[in-house]
Each structure stands twice: as C-alpha cells, then as structure tokens.
Amino acid sequence: MKFFIDTANLAQIKEAHELGILDGVTTNPSLMAKEGVKGKEAVMQHYKTICEMVDGDISAEVISTDFDGMIAEGKELVKIHKNIVVKVPMIKDGIKAIKWFTENGIKTNCTLVFSAGQAILAAKAGATYVSPFIGRIDDGGWDGIDLIHQIRQIFSVQGFNTEILAASIRNPNHIIKCAEAGADVCTCPLDSILGLLKHPLTDIGLAKFLEDAKKFA
Ligand code: G3P
C-alpha cells in the first residue's frame, strides 16, 4: 500500500518525506485555504513547491463544477509538473471530465466518493484513483472501512485498474484497516502516520534496554 500525505502544509510534507515512506501528496481547496495560500499564482507556486519536494503523484483539485471549466483548469494544472494528478469531484460533469482527461493521457483522482456506485462510475471513466472518504462516512454513523472492502471486491472481480485511494483518514487504526481491506493507497494526516510508531511496550522496552546499556558502557 502506498502512503500519501493529506495536507498542503510544507513542514508536515517535509517531515513525512524525511521518514522515507512517502509516495505522494493529496491536497484539496480546504487544505490549501488552511495554509493561507491566496490567489491563482500563489496556489500554482504552492503546488510546484510540493512537486519539487516529493517525487510522486501530487493531487491538485479543480474548483470548477462544469465540464469546460474543469478541462481548462486541469490543462493548467498539469503544466505545473509531470507528477500532477487532476483531482475531480464525483459529479456528472466530473465523470465526463475524467473520461476526457483519461483519453488525453492525464491522471485523475475522483474525490468525494461515498458509495460503491460512485466508485464504479469513476473506474468506468478511467480514473487513476478513486477516493472514498472513510472518516466522513464514519462520522455519519456508517462504516467507511466496509466501503473499502466493497470497492476492493468489485474492482478485483471486474478487473478495474483504478487504484483505491482511502481518504479522510482520522487515526492510525484507519490506516491499518485500509491496508487489511486492500486499499492501494492511504492518504493520511501526519499525526495518523506518526501514530503508527506508537506502542507503550516499545517505550518501556527501550527505556529498559537503555538503562541496562549503562551497566556495560
Ligand atoms: O482527502 C480528503 C480529506 O482531506 C478529507 O478529510 O478529514 O476533511 O474528512 P477530512
């Protein structure tokens, strides 16, 4: 399973990248706004900086909701860097745009996916990635991991090549469960990635080893 970081924060991207386990980055308009990036030039420059930091797929989201607008934005975005993946919302014109991008050799990430039916449509249109939002499904009282299992089953049975990119990850256990369910990629906040490191028995064991090491230092 590939690890992407789900942020536009450069310090967090750097920290995850330095761990040596980062395969890519996903952003969205909310994450960009959180970093205070304002204006088209600044947004484009921010994506360029991220692309220069991490050699992997970098999702940059369109903000148009009509076909022509999404195509125009996507064409601009892919000029920034060869690793840009155009992130497109799961709406009718989004599906048409994904089909167009696919036919024109441009990678896509279909975002805001909350059902298996939406995932099938994205795969039929040729999306490179489909992004089910695990945490937001859990927030609604359903089980996001169940959706990952269901999409994995469908894509495997049908032979769809679209990669399942589990998004809206809220904790380390989500990452483990997504790996178990067969997600191809998990895009995570830095805290959730670092949370995988933690176990109290590791801390207790290390403290004891270091204490005993003093006996022969
Ligand atoms: O990748 C999608 C993600 O950013 C959404 O996460 O925590 O806002 O549901 P969240």
pLDDT digits (tens, 9 = 90+) for 166-189: 999 999 999 999 999 999 999 999
Which is the catalytic residue, given 2, 38, 48, 87?
87
If one counts every other C-beta atom within 10 angstroms of the C-beta of residue 157, the result is: 8
Q: Which atom of ligand 1 is nearest to the CA of 136?
A: 9
Question: Is the distance from the beta carbon of residue 136 to the nearest atom of ligand 1 less than 6 Å?
Answer: yes
78 CA from centroid of ligand 1 (Å)? 23
Q: Which long-range contacts (CB under 8 A, 24 or more apart) does 31-35 make?
A: 31/6, 31/7, 32/8, 34/8, 34/9, 35/8, 35/9, 35/10
Specify the residue with its C-alpha closest to ligand 1, atom 3.
168
- pLDDT tens digit string along 56-98? 999 999 999 999 999 999 999 999 999 999 999 999 999 999 9
Tell me if 131 sits within 8 A of 144, measured CB to CB.
no
Q: Decide: 108 and 87 in contact? Cβ < 8 Å.
A: yes
Q: Which atom of ligand 1 is nearest to the CA of 187?
A: 1
Burial 11-47 (b: 16+ CB within 10 A, else e): ebbeebbeeeebbbbbbbeebbeebebeeeeebbebb
Which residue has a Cα nearest atom 9 of ligand 1? 168
Section 27-39 average pLDDT: 94
- What are the DSSP E strand ranges found in 134-213? 163-166, 185-188
**Res. 194: pLDDT tops 90:** yes
Cα–Cα distance measured from residue 123 to residue 26, given in angstroms and rounded to the nearest whole number:
19
Q: Tell the residue nearest (CA) to atom 8 of ligand 1.
A: 168
- Ligand 1 atom at minimal distance to the Cα of residue 139: 9
Residue 188 Cα to ligand 1 middle (Å): 9
Distance, CA of 54 to CA of 84 (rounded, Å): 11
Average pLDDT over residues 16-35: 96
pLDDT at 53 over 90: yes
pTM: 0.96
Atom of ligand 1 nearest to the CA of 168: 6
**3 state SS of 130:** strand
Q: Whose CA is nearest to atom 6 of ligand 1?
A: 168
pLDDT tops 90 at residue 19: yes
**pLDDT of the residue at 217:** 84
Residue 26 Cα to ligand 1 middle (Å): 10
Q: Is residue 87 among the annotated active site residues?
A: yes
The Cα 192–Cα 53 span in angstroms is 21
133 C-alpha to ligand 1 centroid (Å): 7
Cα 79 vs. chain centroid, distance in angstroms? 21
List Cβ neighbours of 208 (8 Å cut-off, separation of 6 or more): none
